[in-house]
Structure 1
Amino acid sequence: MHTATALEDVCARARDLEAVALDTEFVWERTYYPALGLVQMGLGGGDIVLIDTVALEGELGPLGNLLEDESVVKILHDATQDLQILARATDAHPRRAYDTQRAGGFVGLTATTSLQDLVEWGVGLRLDKGETRSNWLRRPLSESQQEYAAADVRYLHELRTKQLAKAEELGRTGWVEDEMTRYDDPDLYLESDPDEAVNRVKVRGIGRMSGRQRAVLRTVSAWREVEARKLDRTRRMVLPDEMLAKIADYGPGSFDDLSSLKMTDRQISRYGDGVLEAVQLGIEAEPEDRPRRGRPGPEEFRQQARLQIAQGFLVGRCERSGVDPILVATKSQLGDLVEAGPDAVQAEMSGWRYEFAGRDLEAVLRGDVGVRLDPEDGWPDVAT
């Protein structure tokens, strides 16, 4: 499908349905943002449409209207990235998404199960993933590419039906519905904070930097993030991580200083002013705390022990119930909860999470109950 009229017609048909399956194919090698090449739409019953976003040149208004239509469920697998790409391409705020990958974590699978494995579980077929690294911007698309793309939405309706039936059998329909509201959150579709881009810098020696150097690394990383977005180029194409680390180490104050760090004349001409301004901002900022080095102290050992007890309880509760622990709390989230204490649990683990595990976790952190191995199945649980 490569005309605006055809797109409008298929989106009108889709908006008359209870649910529609969606997927995207894109190229993400030399750009900051994924370059969208194709949108697959499954209308059910084998009715699949391939939307040629290259031919449509970004004129995707009807698709945006479908994404925002709260009367239609949008079924995707591993939904976050696809929804973010679609939201940016259509300037729409997606509503009522259903993620077959995340839903799997409620019905005895993991919340990171691949589509290939999920189709094998739900349909008994093994998808061919031979076109994973295709160039989805080149035209014409081959028959193999088109079949591969269509297969990504062909079974999503069936998988959702099977998952919901299993969730109802387990009494977890409300849990699944509650979990899918995460995709309605407008914050999911916002640009990340450039100030946090420093966490993406991966070079040796960062842990040895002084507080001042770490502050400079943060401001220079934020500058690079903004510049990469503006140019729609990869971060490395602006400046590689290794160069950011050099800049943070030496704190250059002039173009000559940048040249001594082996920045090219082209880089200096294009980015020099921005880099030097970012360096100055870092120098003027509060020095950042350095990571604590050496042997952990007694309180850190106690904190680690509390975390291990909480992890043991949570894993036991989830494994016994066939729920993926990552749906309840990631290791990082659990660590923050243990550090914050029991009074933080209900606010951070609201809804189904609190009823399923949060209430007992609260009691564990307060010391009201202990954790022991269940003699029947061997999994940790609260001692009663």
Structure 2
Amino acid sequence: MKFILIETSNDMDAMLDHITNQPIIAVDTEFQRETTYYPKLALVQIATDSNVICIDPVAFDAKPALKEILLNKNIEKVFHACSQDMEVLYYYLGETPDNIYDTQIANAFLSDHHQIGYAALVENELGIQLDKSQTRTNWLQRPLTEKQIQYAGDDVLYLYQLHNILDDKLQQAGRKSWFTEECSNLRDNQNNFQVDVKKLWRRVKGATKLSQNTLIIVQYIAEWREQLAQQKDRIRRKILTDTILIQLAFDKPETINYLDPIIISRDRSQYQLNENEKQQLIEIIQSAQQAPESEWPDNRFSVLDNQQKAELKNLQQLVNDKAEELSLSSAIISSRKDLENLILINSTESETGASPIDAKLNIVQGWRLRCIGQQLLDRVASNK
């Protein structure tokens, strides 16, 4: 395999036909996001049948070429554990790639390893030990070292080989249709990258235990924090930590003098609100207190009662039994959260009119519904 570093539009144009004429390519990304709200794309690696191509979007505008490649439905793109790659590409391209083949998901349908790492999968299937010394390297620094380029290229070099091995095994196991269905849902998950500001309070640690009249303040502050985090491109906890956010909801400061002791941090990496932003925050808290009860977040059904917890254990056992029967990890069949939501939605169906199927829970869709979902639906329905 020939390794090629693309740092100019002219070099990219020279390789574009070669890449877009491939039926299958392997893809990986390198990015940074430790301190920023939005991930920063640093490198895109693509393997074809004869080349490993590292595209440097820091050196030139690679967006037009990457759109032509990654949004092409006729090219199958092989990733490993693609969720973070999909997110960074969503923010860079404005949408996510189509026609995805995820080798981590493929392996999950062939073993009881739900989220096997790339290095472990390469060693298991190819007997090759990868150098992981560059895992924590700074991918935005330039120039890239030869060691960085080799490391990045290796990530797609072996992906290309894994595709054929895993695909044969899926066909032999009779699970290719399950896998195809699972991968077809990956592009739909781009909605996960679009933040629903009205539900941000659910991400605030400890929020579900609060009363509704306090929770509405948490909701308003969480929305304001998110908007400021996006504007400043800072991770949300560096704007306000969850602990401070909840304290603000309880204390309801009415002046900057009252606000300052709550929000001032000794952490130098913490964003320091200016006077205008402090005043905005005070006004947000005041607006939240005036919100009508009809707008208060409904947290009544966010926590299981004792009877529902017992039912959750029963459902988990059914899932575990099915996983053992299929020699799969129970996690690929259903998450604990999906089972909790199945119980909660079922218990409120008569009140809300929404069924578990209407809510599009994974456990009652597609292959999962056929495999065990209907059994779970029947079980929770019998407990109404």
What's the TM-score, normalizing by structure 2? 0.85
1:284 matched residue in structure 2: 290
Q: Given the alignment, which residue of 8, 31, 34 partners 1:3?
A: 8
Instruction: Please give the secondary structure, in 2, of the residue aligned with 1:40.
Output: strand
> In the alignment, is the contact (CA less than 8 A) between 2:56 and 2:62 conserved in 1?
no
Q: CA deviation at 1:173?
A: 1.0
Q: Is 1:350 equivalent to 2:353 in the alignment?
A: no
CA 1:320–1:29: 2 relative to 1, 3 Å: same
Whole-Å separation in 2 of the counterparts to 1:273 and 1:26 = 35
Whole-Å separation in 1 of the counterparts to 2:243 and 2:372 = 44
Instruction: Please give the secondary structure, in 2, of the residue aligned with 1:129.
Output: coil
Whole-Å separation in 2 of the counterparts to 1:189 and 1:289 = 21
1:198-257 deviations in Å (ceiling 9; x for gaps)? 33334xx75664432222122111111111111211223323333323311211223233
Alignment of 1:41-60 (within 5 A): 41-45=46-50, 47-56=51-60, 58-60=61-63
2:317 matched residue in structure 1: 312
CA 1:206–1:194: 2 relative to 1, 3 Å: closer
Q: Is 1:78 equivalent to 2:104 in the alignment?
A: no
Q: CA deviation at 1:345?
A: 5.9
AA at the equivalent of 1:247: L
Q: Structure 1 stretch 81-90 or stretch 280-289: which is displaced more? A: 280-289
Structure 2 unaligned spans of 5+: 1-5, 266-270, 348-354
2:43 matched residue in structure 1: 38
Instruction: Please give the secondary structure, in 2, of the residue aligned with 1:53.
Output: coil
Q: Is 1:232 equivalent to 2:233 in the alignment?
A: yes
Instruction: Please give the secondary structure, in 2, of the residue aligned with 1:153.
Output: helix
Instruction: Please give the secondary structure, in 1, of the residue aligned with 2:305.
Output: helix
CA 1:212–1:189: 2 relative to 1, 3 Å: closer
AA at the equivalent of 1:26: F
Q: CA deviation at 1:312?
A: 0.8
2:151 matched residue in structure 1: 148
Q: Given the alignment, which residue of 196, 210, 215 partners 1:193?
A: 196
Alignment of 1:131-280 (within 5 A): 131-185=134-188, 187-188=190-191, 190-202=193-205, 209-263=210-264, 267-280=273-286
Whole-Å separation in 2 of the counterparts to 1:54 and 1:114 = 27
2:268 matched residue in structure 1: none
1:171-219 deviations in Å (ceiling 9; x for gaps)? 11111111111122164364211233333334xx756644322221221
Instruction: Please give the secondary structure, in 2, of the residue aligned with 1:155.
Output: helix
Q: CA deviation at 1:260?
A: 4.4
Q: CA deviation at 1:77?
A: 0.8
Q: Given the alignment, which residue of 325, 333, 336 partners 1:331?
A: 336
Identity of aligned residues (%): 28
Structure 1 unaligned spans of 5+: 369-384
Q: Structure 1 stretch 264-273 or stretch 68-77: which is displaced more? A: 264-273
CA 1:262–1:171: 2 relative to 1, 3 Å: closer
Whole-Å separation in 1 of the counterparts to 2:25 and 2:376 = 38
Q: CA deviation at 1:8?
A: 2.9
Whole-Å separation in 2 of the counterparts to 1:97 and 1:275 = 43
CA 1:151–1:270: 2 relative to 1, 3 Å: farther
2:67 matched residue in structure 1: 64
CA 1:8–1:301: 2 relative to 1, 3 Å: same
> In the alignment, is the contact (CA less than 8 A) between 1:27 and 1:34 conserved in 2?
yes
AA at the equivalent of 1:278: I
Whole-Å separation in 1 of the counterparts to 2:276 and 2:238 = 12
CA 1:231–1:339: 2 relative to 1, 3 Å: closer
What's the TM-score, normalizing by structure 1? 0.85
Whole-Å separation in 1 of the counterparts to 2:247 and 2:176 = 53
